[in-house]
Amino acid sequence: MNAIISASELADALRSERPPVLLDVRWQLSTAAAAGEPFDGRAAYASGHVPGAVFVDLDRELASAPGARGRHPLPDLDVFGAAMRRAGVSAGTPVVAYDGGIGWAAARAWWLLRWTGHPDVRVLDGGLPAWDGPSETEAPTPAEGDFVPEPAGSGVLDADGAAALARAGVLLDARAGERYRGEVEPIDPVGGHIPGAVSAPTSDNVDADGRFRPAAELRARFGRLGATPDAPVGVYCGSGVSAAHEVLALEIAGIPAALYVGSWSEWSSDPARPVAVGPDPQ
């Protein structure tokens, strides 16, 4: 199954006999430039959303509280499961997640649902800006779903696993190149990257409209970085959000990949962990 869905395909699906559950996962890492206030995804949702969509709070429902395991550690599964059931998610219903367009937050929801056993989840390609259908401001009250998250035994890396994969496989760093090189670090205490990791910014996954590049282009891109279907591949970013976008791009390319959820926010907080700087992986 394709991991993404176009706006026109979504419109058709919503008119079908088996419409998908819609998750609105609008979220931003940065603050609003003009007012200096944190981005309020719930307020954005209330101002207009795809009809039938339910708002999902990334910071509270798709992650646990920040701490030693990073800024966006794995959520408590009871909290995550309750949020999905509240949104109407059942094991047998298709799900489509979207965000404000960058794709990171929607990909986090996609990854979590896939990792915990849901078989039919897609991300709206291009996010809400790609949607040209009607919108609504009222929050729906869907029937309670029955989805119970059951984590897979694979697909997740801890810090030691990420370090090992950087030596024995391919570990991709999904952050911007300047953060990978350690030239700037606006969030975490130390700049640089995990030794052995390869720079692979998420910005190269999409075109100028924010839509994913074709599978062949993505396959070629990742192949140049050493990531192929036959190689063990993992991804990290700052806190396990944009890295989910990279895992999604790899999925489109036909390349399975694990996610280091703690990512750089966990790694860099431990002074015992080595740090590499500059363009060279080592």
Cα–Cα nearest to 187, from 29, 28, 62? 29
Tell me the CB-side half-sphere exposure of residue 282, using CA atoms within 13 A: 1
Cα–Cα nearest to 225, from 263, 257, 260? 257
SS3 72: coil
Whether 106 is catalytic is no
Tell me the CB-side half-sphere exposure of residue 104, using CA atoms within 13 A: 21
Instruction: Compute the chain's Rg from CA coordinates.
Output: 18
How far out from the chain centre does Cα 147 lie?
Answer: 20
CB atoms within 10 A of CB 32: 11
- Residue among 237, 248, 258, 276 flagged as catalytic: 237
Q: Are 276 and 163 in contact (CB under 8 A)?
A: no
CB atoms within 10 A of CB 133: 11
Measured distance CA(178)–CA(208) in Å, rounded: 20
Give the pair of three-digit tokens for residue 27.
Answer: 């979220």
Measured distance CA(220)–CA(243) in Å, rounded: 19
Active site residues: 237
